[in-house]
Amino acid sequence: MVNQMIASQFISLYDLCVLIREVVGDNFPEYIWVVAEIANIKENQNGHCYLELVDKNEERVIAQARATIWAYNYRSLSYKFEKATGETLKRGMKILFSAQVQYHEVYGLSLNIKDIDPTYSTGEMARKKRETVERLLRENLLELNKSLLLPLVPQRIAIISSPTAAGYGDFMTHLQENSYGYQFSLSLFQALMQGEEASFSIIAALQKIKKQIDLFDLVVIIRGGGSQIDLSCFDDYELSAEIARFPLPVVTGIGHERDDTVVDMVAHTKKKTPTAVAEFLISGVRLFETQIEELQNSVIRYSDRLLENSRFSLQENLNTLNHALKNILSHTFSTYQLLAIRFCLASRKCFSDHQNRLSLILQKVNAVLRQKFQEAKNKHLLLEQFMYHFNPMNLMKRGFSIARMNGNLLTSVKQAKSGQIITTQLLDGLILSKVEDKS
């Protein structure tokens, strides 16, 4: 039949296209639900949204079509979608939509989207996220960054953020005005924090930090609160893997309310807001300072205890020494006392022995003396008697007299001559007599 048509008659392209339009218009219900992935999406000045939709079989495109969402519809649809999924409609996203199949003679086939069911995308995103998490888990990346030790003092901070983000300002103010007066060294590495380029941009910032890694203790990734949408860049596998493998602990403060992003899950520490991250850093420094203070207090406490102990043991030693000395002294004393007593006793005994001997001797001497004395006395008596008897006075009393001549004792008659004067001494005087004769 076709051959016949070519051979016998033909129609214009326009006629053909009209025909196609009619066929299309007649053969499809007014609206049909379709699942497709957004390959591209653009919004023009008038607010109309133009999409490229694809269907893939393992990354290979097996179908492709254009679609439009007219401005009046797009505004309410995108609002509803964002509210439900926390995401904007964007490339790579799978959506379930109801559309009218249209054919235009000039523009060709196009799907006019009337409605989008966000729950399908939510489920689809959750599935993708789950797959990313499972992959990270399989590759042992999920806990890798968490296994790093937090720096002793998180003072040199590499910040990945956008300088215009509200959260960045809050973060800086909070850190710089901390009540303890801690100072932080803060270096900003600018990156896009939302949109399709965010993941790539953050990875680039991380690589920049990696080149001067020695200058930093910690990396923070912060993003202001406010917009709750467009967080899917933080579910990106490449970014999550980069963070997981990062040699420094990464702390996130991606202000959002919904479930943790994959980046939050692989990060060392996840905080809800940039301010909370600042608080975390300050408390980290505070912890160190407290540690130092406690150690110093311990030094003082233990020193006091040590000194007290030393003082106590010194006192103890002194007491012991005192006691020992007393012991020794009393022992010595008693020894000496004993000696003294013994000495006393001994000397007394010795003394009395000698005394006895002495008195014995004395008695003997006495006896001898008495005897001698008696003997002498007796002798003396005899002598006295003798003397008495021989005393001239006594002799004269008894009638003896002493005759002298010329002063000489007259002991012989021969001495006497006649006429000579003889002096005769009697007891009571002298008699002068003249010698007349001698016989």
Partner 1 sequence: MNKKDHISYKQALEELEKIVDEIENGEIDVDLLSEKVKRATVLSQICKSKLRKTQEELDKLLSEVEKEDNEQQETEPEPSS
Binding site for partner 1 (CB under 8 A): 152-153, 155-156, 180-186, 214-215, 285, 288-289, 291-293, 295-296, 298-300, 302-303, 306-307, 309-310
Task: Select 164 or 303, whichever has its Cβ closest to partner 1.
Answer: 303
- Residue 193 and residue 256: Cα distance in Å, rounded? 13
Helix ranges restricted to H, 165-197: 166-176
Task: Select 59 or 214, whichever has its Cβ closest to partner 1.
Answer: 214
Concatenated DSSP letters for 27-56?
HS-S-EEEEEEEEEEEE-TTS-EEEEEEEE
* Distance in Å from the first CA to the final CA of the chain: 253
Task: Select 131 or 308, whichever has its Cβ closest to partner 1.
Answer: 308
CB of 304 to partner 1, least distance (A): 10
CB of 57 to partner 1, least distance (A): 53
- Residue 128 and residue 383: Cα distance in Å, rounded? 170
Structure tokens at 383: 């002598």
- Residue 49 and residue 410: Cα distance in Å, rounded? 208
Helix ranges restricted to H, 139-236: 166-176, 198-211
Backbone angles phi, psi at 170, to 5 degrees: -60, -45
Structure tokens at 125: 């995103």
- Nearest of 47, 55, 105, 253 to residue 168 by alpha carbon: 253
Task: Select 181 or 429, whichever has its Cβ closest to partner 1.
Answer: 181
CB of 171 to partner 1, least distance (A): 15
CB of 220 to partner 1, least distance (A): 16
CB of 299 to partner 1, least distance (A): 4
Task: Select 57 or 179, whichever has its Cβ closest to partner 1.
Answer: 179
CB of 317 to partner 1, least distance (A): 13
CB of 146 to partner 1, least distance (A): 21
- Residue 103 and residue 110: Cα distance in Å, rounded? 6
Task: Select 14 or 180, whichever has its Cβ closest to partner 1.
Answer: 180
- Residue 111 and residue 103: Cα distance in Å, rounded? 8
Task: Select 31 or 288, whichever has its Cβ closest to partner 1.
Answer: 288
| Overall size of the chain counted in residues | 439
